[in-house]
């Protein structure tokens, strides 16, 4: 074998009885194609895929795999792959060492593709490797599913979950995270939202070495359906409503007040952003102007916003007792502010919801888990949506969430 053939053989991980027979650059194609031909000597024996016993070849089928580019040239590998005739297992197609079963890429190509997919959207990686995104997704889904199947959830004690849409207005998925993990917290993601997802999570947990009875805390939102499901499914768990969801509830209420009011009244410019943003992060001058204008005009949106902003005072309570006292004061005061104005009905609804959830909200102050985890989920969702862009379905979105934020390690390792 010439030394250039050695180089190719090394790159492919070729081993006995396989050798590189020849290479040929097809310059009639654009970009040029490098074709590597791999084969075996006559009469070589191959291991039976079931028992490993050395067997004679029964027949051969020529197969081709896409391999890593050689400089700018696309590279293909072709080999006659035998079926062996095993006395115990009959006639079986063997496994080649450079590709996994059913794939039309070499392992090296797949590894390079997965390395790219960790860094950029799948569509961009597909362009860079000059394959269709559909084919690349098939590779990604295979490796992610295999890695997820191996996850060990035996240490999980406290979880939170939230739902989101793969695309705006599309079907929902529900994601469970481990509250004890700072990095890569995602444990489980499944299409749908509601009770059934909670039960599915318990099954998944127990299929991965976990124990539903060992779950001591579940953080969720204020939906009664979810909460009932958690009660039924995790018999030993206390339930916590995350503060994030309280703020979200009032933010949504302000927004729905603003939307109906905007149909009748001309709203100050920038009112929407100013009221959504509130005191989070620095208010710009134009936000302050918008808020002052809401106040001057005596608009219901301004009142709703003021109520929402008082939540900060509740959040700052240092102890559970203080939190309960502040939350009660807040609700009473908010109720007075919102009374009698039809436009503030959404805010009254939010107040009523929080009243029913006081105990679970106060539980937050007893919990040792960080409040930031669920908020962190949103940036994971955004990143996953971006990576799956152009090919977004619940399955591809979920795969990206796992790839970006589940403790699955290097998914290309160990076939
Ligand atoms: Zn056999």
Q: 408: which DSSP letter?
A: -
How far, in Å, is the centroid of ligand 1 from the Cα of 66? 29
| Confidence band, pLDDT 50/70/90 cuts, at residue 30 | confident
Stronger pLDDT, 168 or 240, i.e. the higher one: 240
CB 58 within 8 A of CB 84: yes
CB 307 within 8 A of CB 341: no
**What value does the mean pLDDT take over residues 74-94?**
95
How far, in Å, is the centroid of ligand 1 from the Cα of 94? 10
How far, in Å, is the centroid of ligand 1 from the Cα of 95? 13
Q: Is the pLDDT of residue 415 over 60?
A: no
Q: What is the average pLDDT score of the chain?
A: 89
Q: Is the pLDDT of residue 15 over 90?
A: no
DSSP 199-268: HHHHHHHHHTT--GGG--EEEE-S-HHHHHHHHHH-TT-EEEE-HHHHHHHHHHHHHHHHHHHHHHSPPP
**What value does the mean pLDDT take over residues 58-78?**
91
Return the number of other C-beta atoms located less than 10 Å from residue 322's C-beta.
Answer: 13
**What value does the mean pLDDT take over residues 355-365?**
93
Stronger pLDDT, 277 or 318, i.e. the higher one: 318
What was the pLDDT predicted at 1? 43
Nearest CA among 245, 241, 240, 247 for reference residue 313: 247
Q: Which of 8-17, 77-86, 112-121 has the highest mean pLDDT?
A: 77-86
Render pLDDT for 187-215 as a digit per residue (tens, 0 to 9): 999 998 888 999 999 999 999 999 999 99
How far, in Å, is the centroid of ligand 1 from the Cα of 414? 23
Buried b (16+ CB within 10 A) or exposed e, 402-414: bbbbbbbeebbee
Q: Which of 230-234, 295-299, 376-380, 411-415 has the highest mean pLDDT?
A: 230-234
How far, in Å, is the centroid of ligand 1 from the Cα of 91? 9
How far, in Å, is the centroid of ligand 1 from the Cα of 17? 18
* pTM, 2 dp: 0.81
Stronger pLDDT, 377 or 2, i.e. the higher one: 377
Round to whole Å and give the CA distance between 66 and 48. 25
């Amino acid at each position: 074998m010439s030394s250039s053939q050695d180089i190719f053989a090394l790159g492919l991980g070729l081993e006995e009885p396989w050798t590189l027979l020849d290479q040929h650059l097809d310059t009639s194609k654009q970009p040029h194609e490098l074709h590597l031909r791999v084969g075996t000597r006559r009469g070589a024996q191959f291991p039976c895929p079931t028992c490993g016993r050395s067997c004679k070849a029964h027949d051969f089928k020529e197969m081709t795999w896409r391999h890593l580019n050689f400089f700018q040239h696309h590279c293909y590998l072709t080999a006659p792959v035998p079926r062996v005739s095993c006395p115990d297992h009959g006639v079986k197609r063997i496994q080649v060492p450079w590709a996994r079963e059913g794939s039309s890429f070499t392992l090296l190509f797949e590894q390079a593709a997965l390395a790219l997919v960790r860094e950029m959207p799948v569509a961009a990686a597909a362009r860079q490797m000059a394959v269709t995104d559909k084919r690349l997704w098939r590779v990604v889904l295979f490796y992610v599913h295999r890695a997820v199947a191996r996850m060990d959830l035996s240490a999980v004690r406290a979880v939170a979950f939230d739902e989101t849409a793969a695309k705006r207005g599309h079907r929902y998925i529900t994601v469970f995270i481990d509250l004890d993990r700072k990095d890569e917290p995602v444990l489980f993601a499944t299409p749908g939202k509601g009770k059934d997802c909670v039960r599915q999570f318990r099954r998944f947990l127990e299929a991965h070495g976990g124990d539903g009875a060992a779950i001591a805390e579940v953080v969720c939102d204020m939906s009664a359906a979810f909460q009932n499901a958690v009660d039924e499914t995790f018999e030993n768990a206390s339930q916590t409503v995350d503060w994030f969801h309280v703020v979200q509830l009032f933010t949504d209420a302000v927004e729905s007040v603003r939307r109906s009011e905007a149909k009748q009244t001309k709203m100050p410019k920038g009112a929407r952003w100013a009221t959504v943003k509130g005191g989070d992060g620095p208010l710009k001058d134009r936000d302050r102007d918008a808020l002052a204008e809401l106040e001057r005009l005596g608009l219901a949106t301004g009142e709703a916003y003021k109520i929402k902003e008082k939540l900060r005072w509740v959040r700052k309570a240092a102890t559970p007792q203080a939190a309960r006292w502040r939350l009660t004061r807040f609700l009473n005061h908010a109720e007075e502010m919102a009374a009698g104005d039809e436009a503030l009905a959404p805010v009254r609804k939010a107040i009523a919801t929080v009243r029913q959830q006081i105990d679970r909200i106060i539980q937050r102050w007893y919990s040792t888990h960080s409040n930031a985890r669920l908020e962190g989920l949103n940036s994971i969702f955004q990143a996953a949506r971006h990576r799956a862009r152009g090919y977004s379905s619940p399955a591809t979105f979920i795969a990206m969430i796992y790839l970006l934020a589940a403790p699955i390690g290097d998914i290309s390792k160990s076939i």
